[in-house]
Amino acid sequence: GAVVSQHPSRVICKSGTSVKIECRSLDFQATTMFWYRQFPKQSLMLMATSNEGSKATYEQGVEKDKFLINHASLTLSTLTVTSAHPEDSSFYICSASGLDGRQETQYFGPGTRLLVL
């Protein structure tokens, strides 16, 4: 159980276009999902916390108008990179918060590799 999927797994786009990434919890409901960014050979950096039915909470330095997050249901959160530029190229990973017994645990998706040309 506790499977999280992401779509697409890989996307190449032209500079100036927008890209939407979906994160789904397949076998559990997640009121909270998280979006991380991972640069090559570096750790995961939290971008934002996505709460179902409310606005996302962004980390300092993350532009909310550039990285639009929508969490319309208990199993789906989307991240839209608007007007993408080459510096937005990265590996984007989502996680969904679920309960393992009484312990809240984050389960991670496989990630989406974005390349902006």
Partner 1 sequence: AQSVSQHNHHVILSEAASLELGCNYSYGGTVNLFWYVQYPGQHLQLLLKYFSGDPLVKGIKGFEAEFIKSKFSFNLRKPSVQWSDTAEYFCAVNRPGRRALTFGSGTRLQVQP
The residues that touch partner 1, with contacts defined as CB under 8 A, are 32, 34, 42-46, 49, 93, 95, 97, 100, 103-111
3-state SS, one letter per residue, for the chain: CCCEEEECCEEEECCCCCEEEEEEECCCCCCEEEEEEECCCCCEEEEEEEECCCCCEECCCCCCCCEEEEEEECCEEEEEECCCCHHHCEEEEEEEEEEECCEEEEEECCCEEEEEC
**Least distance (Å) between residue 108 CB and partner 1:** 4
**Least distance (Å) between residue 14 CB and partner 1:** 26
Give the nearer residue to partner 1 in terms of CB position, either 67 or 107: 107
Give the nearer residue to partner 1 in terms of CB position, either 39 or 73: 39
Strand partners, 80: 20, 68
**Least distance (Å) between residue 21 CB and partner 1:** 14
**Least distance (Å) between residue 59 CB and partner 1:** 8
Give the nearer residue to partner 1 in terms of CB position, either 55 or 85: 55
Give the nearer residue to partner 1 in terms of CB position, either 115 or 117: 115
